[in-house]
Amino acid sequence: AQKITQTQPGMFVQEKEAVTLDCTYDTSDPSYGLFWYKQPSSGEMIFLIYQGSYDQQNATEGRYSLNFQKARKSANLVISASQLGDSAMYFCAMRESRYGGATNKLIFGTGTLLAVQP
């Protein structure tokens, strides 16, 4: 069965520094998608970044980048130049494979609570 593991329940980072949030996944399907979402204390889920299993390059979106290591089955989120507004819960998610016409549903990890300190 497909699974997402986030081993860091919480992390602290100083403002303006970079931080890496870990995510490992387990799947036997060759085709899959990996997503990161941010959930501030207000509760909404905000899409941050996507990495496809066949993408040759690591994804980047502004201050967010994804360190994708396929052989290790890891998709760590890197946030550069942390800001106070980055304090939130961060979820890693995997889209089930489309192989065989599967659904597009997401499987989420347990999340990492990031606190940015001034």
Partner 1 sequence: DSGVTQTPKHLITATGQRVTLRCSPRSGDLSVYWYQQSLDQGLQFLIQYYNGEERAKGNILERFSAQQFPDLHSELNLSSLELGDSALYFCASSVDRGGGQRDEQFFGPGTRLTVL
Q: Which residues bind partner 1 (CB under 8 A)?
A: 31, 33, 35, 37, 43-47, 50, 52, 54, 91, 93, 95, 98, 102-108, 110-111
CB of 105 to partner 1, least distance (A): 4
Nearer to partner 1, 35 or 87 (CB): 35
Handedness of CA 38, 13, 11, 52 (dihedral sign): positive
According to the 3-state scheme, what is the secondary structure of 14-77? ECCCCEEECCEEECCCCCCEEEEEEECCCCCCEEEEEEECCCCCCCEECCEEEEEECCCCEEEE
Nearer to partner 1, 72 or 98 (CB): 98
CB of 24 to partner 1, least distance (A): 16
The DSSP symbol for 105 reads -
Nearer to partner 1, 46 or 81 (CB): 46
